[in-house]
Amino acid sequence: AQSVTQPDIHITVSEGASLELRCNYSYGATPYLFWYVQSPGQGLQLLLKYFSGDTLVQGIKGFEAEFKRSQSSFNLRKPSVHWSDAAEYFCAVGANGNKLVFGAGTILRVKS
Amino acid sequence: DADVTQTPRNRITKTGKRIMLECSQTKGHDRMYWYRQDPGLGLRLIYYSFDVKDINKGEISDGYSVSRQAQAKFSLSLESAIPNQTALYFCATSDKGALKNEQFFGPGTRLTVL
């Protein structure tokens, strides 16, 4: 069965510092991978997605993610974090039957 | 206007009460989903529907039921609410013709069962 692991429950970074959120997946075939962000009191917004092709994908708000098949990873990165990036981030993998399987989420705190 | 709307946004109820959460979408999507979010557990799928006549159980359907009244409407019911159903509930939609598995989410309903 498909699964997603986000090893870090909480991460705190200073404003202006770089960010990397980790995501590992388990899936037998080529995965469809997603990162969503949930700001406080808001729904989930899609940041970026990977289906095939270039393994480095660009998303909204200056985020990018790199698919590494050998490591079963799809880590999210941003070179310089802004205070408005404080939110909860979810990695998800597309599962059979057009479903999504989500990781437990990583809460990002940004300190000024 | 929001493409996926959920009502109510917040609800407090008592154990044993029947509760209905509603989801409407203007995206014209065929597929709709209900998830619950709990701290440290991410989002878990409760039910999903690929069209009006198609309803499927998800990972955690016990204690819940759904109704797909129209292409644009998908309701989640708790027949007899219990405290461990306190959670944030999300509705989502996807288009069968769109890129694989991409889903669009509503703003969520925060449900508290006392």
Minimal C-alpha gap between B37 and chain A (Å): 9
Model pLDDT, residue B109: 96
Kindly determine whether residue A99 and residue B40, on different chains, have CB atoms separated by under 8 Å.
Answer: no
- Contacts with B31 (C-beta within 8 Å, 6 or more apart), sequence order: A98, B48, B49, B50, B51, B93, B94, B95, B96
Minimal C-alpha gap between B99 and chain A (Å): 8
Mean pLDDT of A65-87: 96
Kindly determine whether residue A43 and residue B107, on different chains, have CB atoms separated by under 8 Å.
Answer: yes
Rounded Cα distance, A7 and A25, in Å: 11
Task: From residue A111, give the alpha-carbon distance in Å to each of A19, A41, A63, A85.
Answer: 13, 20, 19, 11
Place of tokens 């878990």: B44
Helix (H) or strand (E) holding B71: none
Task: From residue B46, give the alpha-carbon distance in Å to each of A33, A70, B37, B43.
Answer: 21, 32, 10, 9
Exposure b/e, A7-25, CB count within 10 A at least 16 = b:
eeeebebeeeeebebbbbb
B30-67 pLDDT, tens digit each: 999 999 999 889 999 999 999 999 999 999 999 999 99
Q: CB distance from B101 to chain A under 8 Å?
A: yes
Minimal C-alpha gap between B103 and chain A (Å): 8
In chain A, what percentage of residues exceed pLDDT 90? 78
Model pLDDT, residue A57: 96
Is the pLDDT at A39 greater than 60? The verdict is yes
B79-111 pLDDT, tens digit each: 999 999 999 999 999 987 655 678 999 999 999
Using 50, 70 and 90 to split pLDDT, how confident is the model at B1? low
Mean pLDDT of A55-78: 96
